[in-house]
Structure formats: C-alpha cells, structure tokens
Structure 1
Amino acid sequence: MQIKELDTPFVLIDLERMGANIRDMQQIADLGRVRLRPHAKTHKMTEVATLQIEAGAVGVTVAKLGEAEVMADGGVRDILIAYPIIGRRKIERLAALLPRAAITLAVESEEGIAAAAEAGRLAGCRVAVLIEVDSGFRRVGVKPEAEFLRALAARITEESSLELKGLLTFAGQSYDTESDEERRRIATIEAGTVERLAAMLEADGYRMEIVSAGSTPSSRFVAGLPGVTELRPGTYVFGDLMQVKLGAHELDRCALTVYTTIISRPAPDRAVVDAGTKLFSSDGEDSPIGTGRGYAIGHPDVTLEWMTEEHGMLRLDEAARGLRIGDRLAFIPVHCCGVINMTDRVAAVRGSEVEAIWNVAARGKFQ
C-alpha cells in the first residue's frame, strides 16, 4: 500500500529514521559501557520493543503495570516497572505477571516495599527491586540522604521475597534546560547522586548490581559517567520538536509524523487540517523553529497555529498559499509520546510504502 492510500488522520512511523535512532542510542550506551533499557511508554508497541532488544537493549522500562502486561504478552522477557505499585488489585496483577517475565520494581516507600513483598509471596518467587532516589526533579523518589537509603535497604532485606538490586533515578529537570552546558551539569548531578549512594550501600554490604539513570536529553551526557550501569531514554526512538529544542534530536531524524488532509481553505492565508488535540494532544510548548504546534515537513512556510479537538488551524505564508482542499501534509508533533497514546494504530512506512500497520497495544494502559 502507498502512504497516499491511507485515510487521514494517521500516524506514520518512518522505519529508516527509527532504525537509525535505535542504533545511535545503542551506540551511546555501548561506548559508555552501560546497558540500555529503553522506556516503552513512548512507543507502547511490542514491535518497537523487539527492534530495540534486537539492536542490543537488555529489556524495556515501563511506567504502568498495564504496559508491563502488554510487553510480556508480546514476548518481552526483561521489564523494569519504574513506578510505585500500590493497591491490592495491582499486587494481585503483579503476582500473576511475575512468573511470565523477569520483573524489576522501583520502590521508594514502606508501602511500596510491602506491596512488592506481598506480590512475591503470592507468586512464590523473589522480586528484584531498585530504590528510587530523587536527584532533583522532586517527583517521586526517596531523599538522597544516607538515613533514608539505609532505612529502606534494611526494610527490603527483612522481606524474604525481595532482593535489592540497586538504585534508580530520573532527572526530569533536564527537560527545562536551555543549553548543553546545563544538561551536562544536571547529568553530572544525576549520575553523581546515585554513584555516591550506591557506593555507600556497597560499603554497608549491599550489592548494587544496577544503577539506573538517564532520559533522552541526558543520556548522551550520563553514559560513561562513573557508577551508572544502565540508561532509560524513551523519546529518542521517534524524536519530536521538544527533543529538537533540547538538542537531543535533529529535525530530519524525527521518525513519527501525523499525516493529515486539508479540509478547508477559509481564507487565502488560512487552512484547516483534519487533526486537532485529540490526535496531536496539547502537550508541550510551541515549536522551537517558529511553526506553532507542529512542523509541516517540506513546508516551513506553514504554521500549525492553534487546534480544537478535531481541527488544526494553519497560517499560510505567501509561498504556501497554493495549498488546496484535499492536499496532504505530514507534521512532526511537539511531543510524540502524547500522540502515540491518542491512536489505536500506526503505519510503519519505508519511503512511500506502508510496510505494516501496527497496533498500539499498550495505548491507554494507565493502570
């Protein structure tokens, strides 16, 4: 099938660009001599996870238990759930999942430790856990102070169904930076925080097999820093305008686009496409290159100025005023993760050909 035969709006994944992105991040990890465990919340598809693992990733990271269940269904056998598991129903679901894959959990509270331990008892196995440390983002994670780490480590070792494997952190503040110098500084703090605490726990007799850090903006700086053993970037696999702004991606390497049709030309300098916030989402700020809520590939003279739920309003500079109703435009979005969670299917394309239609199997798996 040709791309032009697709009904719109449709999300396209450029296989060549995605493949290059996967290889490049794997090379960053390999050169830094660290493991790569990509965050699957970006793509939510087992097909993409499989390509990442075939390229050298050790497994995947997920946010929610529902994503972990989908990845296990698709044959992924090494999964880190980097999110607190709280509540009886989730404990039961986790217990059912444990025999199906090598599951590692992030914990950062007494309640989270108790939940993980109960799941392990129900499943009749030991559960690998990482203590999540706050390295400055102030979301979740224990304070990076000795007394808190030691208390949680001791609590974990009290549970025969748990095995402490190491530490995990996420320096999400790297998304608010303006320069590589700032990103490098935050990456140094991120890595230095967990390196210091891991060394302390090692000295206390705990084995720190995994020290996990890194996001798409920070991984190129974190890789190879002392103490870090694992990277968890996610958005790199597709790229988007947010990552272009952060210097973590190039515009011509962005692999995900929203394919649209012009449905209205209400004025010479205006057009409307058939996708709005229910596909683009409303995540993030405007394009860093001055094209509004997206970038129309091949049309820098088009600005996706604003959106309602089903309409995308374009402002057309003089050079773009030849566009007509029925013409197609492909947009790089501001935030690819938000787009993926808005669609059931994507078209995996190579050149002008659609090679496959993939189901976004973990879409909406927020539990």
Structure 2
Amino acid sequence: MRKQELDTPYVIIDLDKTEQNIEAMQAIADKAGIGLRPHGKTHKLPQVGRMQVDAGAVGLTVAKLGEAEVMAAAGIRDILIAYPIVGEAKLARLVRLAEQADVTVALDSLDVAEPMSRAAEAAGVSFGVVVELDCGFGRVGLPPGQAVLELAQAVAKLPGLRLRGLLTFAGQSYDAADEAARRSIGLDEGRVAAETAAQLRELGLEVDIVSVGSTPSSRYAAQVAGVTEIRPGTYVFGDLTQVSLDAHELESCSLTVKVTVVSRPAPNRAVIDAGTKVFTMDGGDSPIGTGRGYVVGRPGITVAWFTEEHGMLELSQEEQDIGLAVGDTLEIIPCHCCAVISMFDEVAAVRGDEVEAIWPVAGRGKVR
C-alpha cells in the first residue's frame, strides 16, 4: 500500500526520519557516557520502544502503569514508571508487572512508599524506587535538601523496595525565553540532581540512577558529571513545539497527519477533515507563522483555527493562485505530537511513499 491510499485523518510515521532521530539522541547519551531512557508516553508504540532499545537505550520511561504493562508485554524489560503508584488496584497490577520486568517507580512520599513495600513483601517481589526531586518546575517532587535525604533513608529501610536513586524533571525549560536560558535550566537540573545524589552517597546509600532531562533540556543536563541517564520523549518524532525550542529541525519531524480538504467556502479559505479531536489544542503556534500546524511543502497555508471536527486553513494569494480543491490531501506537522498520537487507534509506518506497517497504538487510553 502507498500512503496516498490511506483514508483520512491518519497519522503517518516516517521511519527513516524516526530512525535518524533515535540515533541522534542516542549519540548525545553515548558521547556523555550515560544512559538514554526514552519516555514512551510520546509514542505509546511498543514497536518504537523496541527501536529505541535496539539502538542502545537502557530501557524505557513511561508515565502510567498501563503504559508499562503494554511495554512489558512487548518484551521490554527495564521500565521506569515516572509517576507515583497509589491504590490497592494499581499495587496488585504492579506486583504482576514486577514478575515480567525490572520495574522502578518514582515517588515523593512515604504515603506512596509504605503501601508499595507492604504489597511487595506480601507478594515476595521487589520494586526499584527513585525519589523525585523538584528542580524548579513545581509539579511533584520534594525540593532539594533535608526532606529528600530523609525520604531516601526511610525508603532504603523498607522491605521489598530497592532505593536506586533520584529523578527530576525541569519542565520549566519549555517556558525558557531563549537557548541560553534553556541551557542554564538544563545544567542546573543536572547539577541539583548530581549534588543530591552525592549527599545520599555520603549517608551510605547506594545510588545507581540519577535521572534527568526532557527533549529541550537533555542535551545540556547530559553534560553534568554525576548524571547517569536522560529521559527525553518528543525527540523521537519532533513537533512544532520542539522546533520553537530549537530542540528539533522542521525537516526532521517524522510524524504528520494526513488530512483531506472537504470544503472551499471562500477563495482564501479551505476546510480539512480534522479539528481538535485530532490535533488537540495543546502546544503553541507554529514558530514560522503557519498557525496551529505546518502544512508540509505549503508554507503559504496557515492552519488558522479548529473546531472539534473541522480545521480552517487560510491561503495566501500565492496559494490561491496554485489552487486547492475539495478532495486534495495534505500532511500537517502538529504542535504537539504526544497529544495527537493519543487520539488515534492506529498509525501508518512508512518509508518514502510505501506503507511498511500499520501499528495499533497499544498504549492509547492507558491512563490508569
């Protein structure tokens, strides 16, 4: 099958570009002498997770237990769940998961750690644990200092838990004004984590994981001595948000949405068959002035606005002269690829114009 035959809307993954993106980030980690643990919440695809591990990644990061179950079922054995596991139902699933894979869980309180310990001890399994450190984003995680050290010491004493180290996430890098600010945030992220890890070691605790980084900050945080791994996610596909942060090139974005023009109600306006239920409203506008997406090869078309099922395009005079008809198809790079792929049941993996495979988005809806 050729991609021209795909019905719309449809997510297309360019395998050549995806492989190049995987290799480029792996090279950053290899050059720094640290591990790469990509975040699977971006792609939700075991096939892509396997590509990353085969290229040298030490394992995968996931956001939710459901995503971890999907990746473990596909044979990925080293999984970090960067999210607290709370509740008896989830703990029972975590026990089953620990029988399939080497699982490490991030947490920031004994309220999470102690029930995990009881569940592990009762089942005769063990869970790895990393304590989450807040390096300035203000989401979850304890601030650097005594509270982190005390929690790590307490976790290390709990049966069924293996303290492995620390995790942090500088989400504020997404709001940085420029490259210099992103560099500063990334270096500080790595420094805070490495210094806290050193303090844990001084207390006699073993620390083998010092985990940092997002796609914008990883290339900087990786340079800090003491960091052991980076956890970028969006790099694997790229999107307009990453382009705006200088973390990706437009030409290397490998995820597009194929759409069809369904209406031409005015000379300067066209309507496509995809709105917020495909592209979502997440992410900022295109950094090159094309609105809520970039139409590949057609910079004179602005993705102006969406309703749920309609996407409104504005056409420059040059584009009006070229012409765009009902039934024509376009490919659009979205603002935020993670949000888009989560809206689809399946994607097409292509090389050139040839569809190599149709992949179910196995991690879609795995939010529990």
TM range (shorter): over 0.9
Q: C-alpha displacement at 1:190, in angstroms?
A: 0.4
> What is the match of residue 264 of structure 2?
265
Q: Distance in 1 between matches of 2:115 and 2:341?
A: 30
> What is the match of residue 273 of structure 2?
274
> What is the match of residue 299 of structure 1?
298
Amino acid across the alignment from 1:335? H
Q: Distance in 2 between matches of 1:267 and 1:125?
A: 65
Q: C-alpha displacement at 1:319, in angstroms?
A: 1.7
1:268-309: CA deviations, max 9, x gaps?
000000011101111011111110100000000000100011
Q: C-alpha displacement at 1:154, in angstroms?
A: 2.2
Q: Distance in 2 between matches of 1:363 and 1:334?
A: 19
> What is the match of residue 10 of structure 2?
10
> What is the match of residue 201 of structure 1?
200
Query: Does residue 72 of structure 2 align to residue 72 of structure 1?
Result: yes
Q: Is the 8 A contact 1:191 1:228 kept in 2?
A: yes
> What is the match of residue 359 of structure 2?
358
> What is the match of residue 213 of structure 2?
214
> What is the match of residue 324 of structure 1?
325
Structure-1-length-normalised TM-score:
0.98
Q: Is the 8 A contact 2:15 2:349 kept in 1?
A: yes
1:61-88: CA deviations, max 9, x gaps?
0000000011111111110000011111
Percent identical pairs in the alignment equals 56
Query: Does residue 47 of structure 2 align to residue 47 of structure 1?
Result: yes
Q: C-alpha displacement at 1:222, in angstroms?
A: 1.2
Q: Is the 8 A contact 1:175 1:217 kept in 2?
A: yes
> What is the match of residue 144 of structure 1?
144
Query: Does residue 114 of structure 2 align to residue 114 of structure 1?
Result: yes
Q: C-alpha displacement at 1:158, in angstroms?
A: 2.4
Q: Is the 8 A contact 2:187 2:223 kept in 1?
A: no
Q: Distance in 2 between matches of 1:337 and 1:148?
A: 33
Query: Does residue 122 of structure 2 align to residue 100 of structure 1?
Result: no
Gaps of 5+ in 2: none
Q: Distance in 2 between matches of 1:119 and 1:344?
A: 34
Q: Distance in 1 between matches of 2:224 and 2:304?
A: 41
Q: Distance in 1 between matches of 2:169 and 2:316?
A: 41
Q: C-alpha displacement at 1:127, in angstroms?
A: 1.4
Q: C-alpha displacement at 1:119, in angstroms?
A: 3.0
Q: Distance in 1 between matches of 2:164 and 2:105?
A: 10
Q: Distance in 1 between matches of 2:316 and 2:115?
A: 57
Q: Is the 8 A contact 1:241 1:333 kept in 2?
A: yes
Q: C-alpha displacement at 1:60, in angstroms?
A: 0.3
Amino acid across the alignment from 1:194? A
Q: Is the 8 A contact 1:96 1:123 kept in 2?
A: no
> What is the match of residue 185 of structure 1?
184
Amino acid across the alignment from 1:336? C
1:89-124: CA deviations, max 9, x gaps?
111111111110000111110111113212312331
Q: Distance in 2 between matches of 1:7 and 1:196?
A: 52
Q: C-alpha displacement at 1:213, in angstroms?
A: 0.2
Q: C-alpha displacement at 1:157, in angstroms?
A: 2.3
Amino acid across the alignment from 2:92? E
Give the length in aligned residue pairs.
Answer: 366
Q: Distance in 2 between matches of 1:361 and 1:21?
A: 22
1:238-277: CA deviations, max 9, x gaps?
0000000000000000000010000000000000000111
Q: Distance in 2 between matches of 1:116 and 1:142?
A: 19
Q: Is the 8 A contact 1:33 1:224 kept in 2?
A: no
Q: C-alpha displacement at 1:151, in angstroms?
A: 1.6
> What is the match of residue 313 of structure 1?
312
The two structures, once aligned, show a CA RMSD in angstroms of: 0.8
1:9-57: CA deviations, max 9, x gaps?
1000000000000000000000011100000000001000000000000
1:215-257: CA deviations, max 9, x gaps?
0001111113111000000000000000000000000000000
Q: Distance in 1 between matches of 2:116 and 2:36?
A: 24
Q: Distance in 1 between matches of 2:355 and 2:203?
A: 56
Q: Distance in 2 between matches of 1:229 and 1:272?
A: 48
Amino acid across the alignment from 1:251? L
> What is the match of residue 123 of structure 1?
123
Amino acid across the alignment from 2:159? S
> What is the match of residue 229 of structure 2?
230
Amino acid across the alignment from 1:20? Q
Structure 1: which 4+ aligned runs deviate by more than 2 Å? none
Gaps of 5+ in 1: none
> What is the match of residue 172 of structure 1?
171
Q: Distance in 2 between matches of 1:123 and 1:233?
A: 33
Q: Distance in 2 between matches of 1:346 and 1:30?
A: 30
